[in-house]
Amino acid sequence: MANVVVVGAQWGDEGKGKLVDWLSERADIVARFQGGHNAGHTLVIDGNVYKLSLLPSGIVRGGKLSVIGNGVVLDPWALLAEIEKLKGQGVDISPENLMIAENTPLILPVHGELDRARESQNTVAKIGTTGRGIGPAYEDKVGRRTVRVADLADEATLDQRIARLLTHHNALRAGLGLEPVDAAALKAQLMEVAPKVLPYAKPVWKVLTEARRAGKRILFEGAQGSLLDVDFGTYPFVTSSNTLAGMAATGTGLGPTAVDYVLGIVKAYTTRVGEGPFPSELFDADGERLGERGHEFGTVTGRKRRCGWFDAVLVRQTCATSGVSGIALTKLDVLDGFETLRICTGYELDGEMLDYLPTAANLQARVKPIYEEMEGWSESTVGARSWADLPGAAVKYVRRIEELIQCPVALVSTSPERNDTILVKDPFED
């Protein structure tokens, strides 16, 4: 039996939600280990659409334990709203099947206000943040002034946490022309939400350790994508957490030996939301076609995604930094009908050929893609569940991707529906 980490191997929006949900049938526990409610997953199950931001994708399955780990930053009001929305869709959610790590940092209203204020006043280069307070919440975590879930259970501790937090934030707010935060009002908000959140609070590291010893299968669910990693992404146009597979260990309290298989989710083309470099971005009819056919709008923000050809250089790079064992290729069906397809196989920079994306921002902005052309296919791949169901040209496209990224394909997804998946290698059977 294997424990599996699922990470996005591009800029996010790769279809992790569907794959995590599909894999959760084989798992006992599904655990989120980083990010916040800026991440979005859309699941389509028997025609029903579920949109998740904070809750692990396994929550829509009965008999599974869903876990929000300490690597997540948690907006308690957003969580409760999401729980109520899913309950309205018939999903059972209780402390029996949902657990939150006691040491999870909270996103407070002050974080969202700071996020939006800084972005609106950033005249140099906007980061493209969702404005939900994710970055400021992570800043407070490493600044040792955050309010954590466990603090909600003790007023004296909460008073200390709020005082330390606001010493920092009110100074920042003054510089941004914002009114100071009222400590008593913030405390009242937290005390109101506390009894609704605390029933879910548990020592997650202990529960997961015991589950692992008992032979339970754990599925670690990453949010966003590897190219948004705060260390290895296209900095500064990144998120505020580590999105690579290694974060699964520290983001839940289990050591790295708990991870047996890393599944990288990879879209059959490339997209990104917001600002930042994008070497294979398309500004023509092909780019528009990819966006329209792929319904490329953000689950959380509704923002239109930028679209481009598959970039094998970037995916090879993220497979290395996340230690990817195999990839799940998604949205292959979006390429149906293209007469010719292109794959970015390298970059040209000032006359030099590169096989990786350089770290310096000015160099990232200047690289030009080197393309290899492949024959497309006119037949439909929608709903294919075996290699025999795919056109020959589609199989060649998948095999060429394997060669270029130096990583095998474990699954191929051919529609948003849960079971429209070609299984090559079951990640849980390591």
Catalytic residues: 13, 41
Angle between helices 155-175 and 109-120 (to 10 degrees): 10
47: left (phi over 0), alpha (psi -120 to 50) or beta: left
CA torsion, ordered 261, 234, 125, 54, to nearest 10 deg: 0
- Whether the link from the prior residue into 236 is cis, omega within 30° of 0, is yes
C-alpha span between 25 and 427 (Å, rounded): 12
Closest to 26 measured CA to CA, from 426, 416, 325: 426
DSSP per position, 146-178:
--BGGGGG-HHHHHHHHHHHHHHHHHHHHHTTP
Report phi then psi at 74, rounded to 5: -115, 120
Q: Which long-range contacts (CB under 8 A, 24 or more apart) does 151-159 make?
A: 152/190, 152/191, 152/193, 152/194, 152/197, 152/198, 152/201, 153/194, 153/198, 153/201, 155/191, 158/187, 158/190, 158/191, 159/187
Q: Extract the tokens encoding 25.
A: 């049938």
> CA 125 → CA 21, 55, 236, distances in Å?
37, 32, 9
β-sheet bridge partners, residue 336: none
**Tokens representing 317?**
């790079």
Which backbone phi and psi does 106 adopt, to 5 degrees?
-100, 145
Instruction: Please report, for residues 11, 179, 309, 318, 356, the alpha-carbon distance to residue 370 in angstroms, rounded to integers and kept in the order given.
Output: 20, 51, 11, 19, 12
